[in-house]
Amino acid sequence: MFVFPLGGQSLIQKSITISAIQTDWNLITDGFGGVAPAIRTNLTLTIDAGIDLISSSNAIAALDLTGLPTDSVITLINNGNIFGVGGDGGDGETTSVELEPPCFTIPSGRQSGQTGGPAIVYDGTNVDLNITNASGRIWSGGGGGGGGADCFKTSNCAANGGGGGGGGAGGSTVSGFGAAGAKGTSNNGNDGVAGTAGTGDTGGSGGSGGAGGTSASCTAGAGGAGGNFGSAGSAGGAGGSSGGSAGLAVDKNGTGTTTFVTGGVQGVDLIGVAQ
């Protein structure tokens, strides 16, 4: 790291190379030893070929570039993969039937799919991010599928549980997939089926809703499918919960400018919205 005087003001010049798989990489913590620079900074960050950056949560970016002072410039040279995590699928609706006349059901536990996680986040006043990405991938996490609704038949006082939502796509072979939503259960009918987790490439499938049986002659809603990279999850069936929205490929939490010098082709090296 070097500090240069520029027009009466100091300027930090710093270069960082990431050459190993990282989870939740944070510029200030991992690049500056936990101490944010106090003056504007020109940063060149290079990610080596074949290196995956992933996150452990949809609330955390795989690459967190926040914390630089006003008028700083970040040059990102990405030869690896920056993947947002997939959102978890929502649980299917559980139903509890009360048999005291007139019979009724108490539904509970149905959840919406979670939002996919961002690949990159940066912020600050007039902080600019220039990305060279021709040899890399920046893909945001897919949203989780919504939980399916239950069904209830008053004629025989029985109900079936909803299916669980599928997890969103995200991460890599290391981790980062959206978890599956749990099945909805029933105390007087058939349970739904849990969804499946997302993978590094595609969203998981929603589980089927409980159906048929000797007690309840109705079909509960299936869980929604999890979204692929950069795509929202689907809603659960039979009026079930909503799917989660996709994460952002680049989350600009400020007034700076994002510029793709190369490698900004949507659906190829970039999947998801880049602010």
Domain ranges of the chain: 2-85+117-140+248-271
**What residues contact 274, with CB distance under 8 A and at least 6 apart?**
138, 248, 249, 250, 258, 260, 264
Q: Which band of pLDDT confidence, cut at 50, 70 and 90, is reported for residue 251?
A: very high
Provide mean pLDDT across the span 80-94: 96
Please report the pLDDT score of residue 1 as a whole number.
57
Place of tokens 């599956």: 180
- Per residue in 48-66, pLDDT (tens digit) is 999 999 999 999 999 999 9
Query: Among residues of the chain, what percentage have pLDDT more than 90?
Result: 77
Query: Per residue in 158-210, pLDDT tens?
Result: 889 999 999 999 876 666 789 999 999 999 889 999 999 998 889 999 999 99
Q: Is the pLDDT of residue 89 over 80?
A: yes
202 backbone dihedrals φ, ψ, rounded to 5°: -135, 155
Residue 245 is which amino acid? S
Tell me the backbone φ, ψ of residue 30, rounded to 5 degrees: -95, -25
> Quick one: 65 exposed, middle or buried, by C-beta within 10 A (0-12, 13-18, 19+)?
buried
Indicate the helix (H) or strand (E) that contains 5.
Answer: strand 2-6
Burial class (CB in 10 A: 0-12, 13-18, 19+), 102: exposed
